[in-house]
A and B are shown apart, each in its own frame.
Chain A
């Protein structure tokens, strides 16, 4: 079985049981802006200085560790120039009206999550006008200790449900998804690549892995697995 589920993960993450096709991966310098474990890509000049260089962080970890690359960047492999441009654009302001960039820095501004939830609920109500019965979102359910979301794999009729609270990282999630769907699916001999996407609370479909795990957990409504070419 050759199923690879690729995310924009930092290069040194565990790849055991994940990269089943060693031959297809080439070694390449990872890009600094993908360091989502750093709490989001805070792009002010001040913090660029503070960010460790990728070499510092990963240089000594290299040696024999296969490196996974974001296969789902639409225009092909990212290169450093592209991302530096992105960084410069964001230098002037962290607060960005672009909704995808909302919540980009974990835990900032420092507002209690309970209060954020209340305000968000109220904002939603204001947009819809008048009183709204808050019956929650059907796809996302469970209390504090469980967070069930639907997972739909492209090409399969039936969606599954998965409890995201069982995981602390994208890695663990994708491992489980692979084993969940492995049984259901027949694969080409050459291996098929899949992309993990999710729908956030605004209803937009985004690539999984771009935002820190905690941020992802707060806004994910459901998951989708799309096929790429082989």
Chain B
């Protein structure tokens, strides 16, 4: 029936299909739909930059305007991937620049970006509007200067947790006076900034909705900036410190008055440096907040946090440090009835914090906040009883990540593994897509995961399991699994090789400090030519021909349509 419609009609219908997955599904229906879909696709998401080449992207989607690329494996965030592993954006930018693609948006995560790439990017696409860099590295503020100077219609420059070398240039001053289109600016990860240029920039960009400052912006400057931008929806403060002397009380008063005018602020973050006695300045806007991120605010103690939280009745997302304590979490539970996402980070990752949180805090949250669907919780300990209670109270988890700081710690009350607790979570949350495990765990937890976690897409395993059976339960049971990352667990060749076809249904598999051997990896690589099986070899063993029976320290494999990558460093071996 659809064949009788002209292509334009099909295209118009497809315009309403926006999610990547749905569009991918549309393209598989028939050749006609594939053709119409590919010409009309504007947003492309590539979860692994080595799965495909820029040339093939350009050939298939000539109309692409927005590209998202991810590079290094997730465990690179925790220093498990050596420098110079790869993930370079340069070939992508060069290929796109050579083509006639009208790129408008580029979003990169865990990639290596150079100043040259940024320069080429800034000069090659006249309508370029949005650059989002998350956990990237390899560039300096010179690259940012090029973006500022050359992208005439820039709307968004969002730098999240990147490693940027800061030169003595004033890159922010490179935005021309004619730049008035900014909607979102985030430079929180930088150490310095040119304050005068910043204030002028904010003054001439009336559409600015999201602004995240860095530590170099003092409170006085924040006040002036907020005067110019009371329309902000999203604010990341810089330094939130004033000394307690009389000169600054005037500044503080002005700040309070100015903040009262900022009725649109819904998301608040920053506080990279904070003096608790300044906090009352933000009390008036707390009632409107839906997102509050205090995960860098180590200077705020439990009692002050509680005073603040009590005012935030509409919170949906809260990111906080564990110095809030179990008592503080109880206050969150009684105040934030709409809470959907909670992240509790450790303020002292290597010590045994007195104010740290335990299972008590989590249970309190689960009973007070039944809408909770996303959790990241670093804690000192957890019990099966608590997890079972949480599972019962909150059956809507999409993301559940628990990190017990001592990674093989059992239930301290029963001394049992936490299999039953996690089992309860996966059984009750039928829509669970992401899970991270910790604590003492046997193969049993994987049996439960394989049985119940039908929607699971990403699983992170550390120091868990007893035998190959554990990994097999997961590979067999989780039909929607896309990313599996395992460290320090006793899974070996038998599990790795049982179902080699499975890996083509997934994006990637990471295994480090497990029991897989070089021989096992070679066998897998030989059987599956459309996988890149990479071994990361950090010891200087290049002169030796390692034995097949030797265990592999780090293996990363991923499906790909373009064969072994040509930019692998000498310490990465791609097996064939």
Residues of A at under 8 Å CB distance from B?
Answer: 10, 12-14, 16, 37-39, 42, 44, 46-47, 49-50, 52, 57, 60-61, 93-95, 97, 102-103, 105-116, 118-119, 122-123, 125-126, 131, 134, 143-145, 165, 168-169, 171-172, 213-215, 218
Q: Which of B79, B82, B165, B515 interacts with A145 by CB under 8 Å?
A: B165
**A109-B403, A126-B299 are contacts. A144–B539 as well, Cβ < 8 Å?**
no
Q: Map CB proximity to A onto B378-419 as digits: 1 under 8 Å, 0 otherwise.
A: 100000000000000000000000010111100000000000
Cβ of B165: which chain A residues have Cβ within 8 Å of it? Answer: 143-145
Interchain CB contact under 8 A, A110 and B78: yes
State whether the Cβ of B571 lies closer than 8 Å to any Cβ in chain A. Answer: yes
Interchain CB contact under 8 A, A14 and B543: yes
Q: Map CB proximity to A onto B248-267 as digits: 1 under 8 Å, 0 otherwise.
A: 00000000000000000000
CB distance from B492 to the nearest CB of A (A): 11
Q: Which of B82, B378, B405 interacts with A168 by CB under 8 Å?
A: B82
Which segment of B88-96, B348-356, B360-368 sits at the interface? B348-356
Cβ of B460: which chain A residues have Cβ within 8 Å of it? Answer: 110
**A38-B513, A44-B408 are contacts. A144–B299 as well, Cβ < 8 Å?**
no
Interchain CB contact under 8 A, B350 and A102: yes
Cβ of B304: which chain A residues have Cβ within 8 Å of it? Answer: none
Known: A14-B540, A119-B298. 4 other contacts (CB 8 A): A57-B550, A57-B551, A102-B350, A112-B135
Q: Which of A13, A47, A109, A122 interacts with B273 by CB under 8 Å?
A: A122
Cβ of B352: which chain A residues have Cβ within 8 Å of it? Answer: 95, 97
CB distance from B278 to the nearest CB of A (A): 13
State whether the Cβ of B490 lies closer than 8 Å to any Cβ in chain A. Answer: yes
A-facing residues in B286-302 (Cβ within 8 Å): 295-296, 298-299
With A and B bound together, what is the CA distance between A115 and B553 in angstroms? 26
Interchain CB contact under 8 A, B539 and A112: no
Cβ of B79: which chain A residues have Cβ within 8 Å of it? Answer: 106-107, 113, 214-215, 218
With A and B bound together, what is the CA distance between A144 and B189 in angstroms? 13
Interchain CB contact under 8 A, A213 and B538: yes
CB distance from A156 to the nearest CB of B (A): 27
With A and B bound together, what is the CA distance between A23 and B138 in angstroms? 46
Interchain CB contact under 8 A, A107 and B138: no
CB distance from B419 to the nearest CB of A (A): 14
Interchain CB contact under 8 A, A114 and B140: no
A-facing residues in B508-562 (Cβ within 8 Å): 512-513, 515, 538-544, 547, 549-551, 553
Cβ of A57: which chain B residues have Cβ within 8 Å of it? Answer: 550-551
Cβ of B463: which chain A residues have Cβ within 8 Å of it? Answer: 42, 44, 46-47
Cβ of A113: which chain B residues have Cβ within 8 Å of it? Answer: 77-79
CB distance from A113 to the nearest CB of B (A): 6
Cβ of B349: which chain A residues have Cβ within 8 Å of it? Answer: 109, 111, 116, 119
CB distance from A95 to the nearest CB of B (A): 5
Q: Which of A93, A168, A215 interacts with B406 by CB under 8 Å?
A: A93
Q: Which of A93, A143, A165 interacts with B140 by CB under 8 Å?
A: A143
Interchain CB contact under 8 A, A109 and B346: yes
Residues of B at under 8 Å CB distance from A?
Answer: 75, 77-80, 82-83, 135, 137-138, 140, 161, 163-166, 189, 191, 241, 272-273, 295-296, 298-299, 345-352, 378, 403, 405-408, 436, 440, 460, 462-463, 487-490, 512-513, 515, 538-544, 547, 549-551, 553, 571
CB distance from B142 to the nearest CB of A (A): 12
**A109-B349, A112-B135 are contacts. A94–B539 as well, Cβ < 8 Å?**
no
Interchain CB contact under 8 A, B513 and A118: no
Interchain CB contact under 8 A, A122 and B78: no
Interchain CB contact under 8 A, B78 and A107: yes
With A and B bound together, what is the CA distance between A50 and B351 in angstroms? 26
Quick one: closest A residue to B140, CB to CB? A143
Interface centre among A12, A60, A144 (most CB of B within 10 A): A144
Cβ of B345: which chain A residues have Cβ within 8 Å of it? Answer: 111, 115
Cβ of A14: which chain B residues have Cβ within 8 Å of it? Answer: 540-544
With A and B bound together, what is the CA distance between A106 and B350 in angstroms? 12
CB distance from A119 to the nearest CB of B (A): 6
Interchain CB contact under 8 A, B298 and A126: yes
Cβ of B295: which chain A residues have Cβ within 8 Å of it? Answer: 115
Interface centre among A106, A107, A112, A214 (most CB of B within 10 A): A107
Q: Which of B80, B161, B166, B515 interacts with A114 by CB under 8 Å?
A: B161
With A and B bound together, what is the CA distance between A97 and B408 in angstroms? 18
Interchain CB contact under 8 A, A169 and B538: yes
Interchain CB contact under 8 A, A118 and B539: no
Interchain CB contact under 8 A, B408 and A46: yes
CB distance from A38 to the nearest CB of B (A): 6
Write 25 A-B pairs (CB below 8 A) sorted by A numbering: A10-B539, A39-B513, A44-B408, A44-B463, A46-B408, A60-B547, A94-B407, A106-B78, A107-B78, A107-B79, A109-B403, A110-B436, A110-B462, A113-B79, A114-B163, A115-B345, A118-B272, A122-B273, A122-B298, A123-B348, A125-B273, A131-B241, A145-B138, A145-B165, A214-B79
Interchain CB contact under 8 A, B272 and A114: no
With A and B bound together, what is the CA distance between A61 and B345 in angstroms? 43
With A and B bound together, what is the CA distance between A47 and B553 in angstroms? 15
Interchain CB contact under 8 A, A123 and B163: no
CB distance from A29 to the nearest CB of B (A): 18
Cβ of B166: which chain A residues have Cβ within 8 Å of it? Answer: 143
Interface centre among A13, A118, A165 (most CB of B within 10 A): A118
Interchain CB contact under 8 A, B551 and A37: no
Interchain CB contact under 8 A, B163 and A144: yes
Cβ of B488: which chain A residues have Cβ within 8 Å of it? Answer: 39, 42, 47, 50
Cβ of A111: which chain B residues have Cβ within 8 Å of it? Answer: 78, 345-346, 349, 378
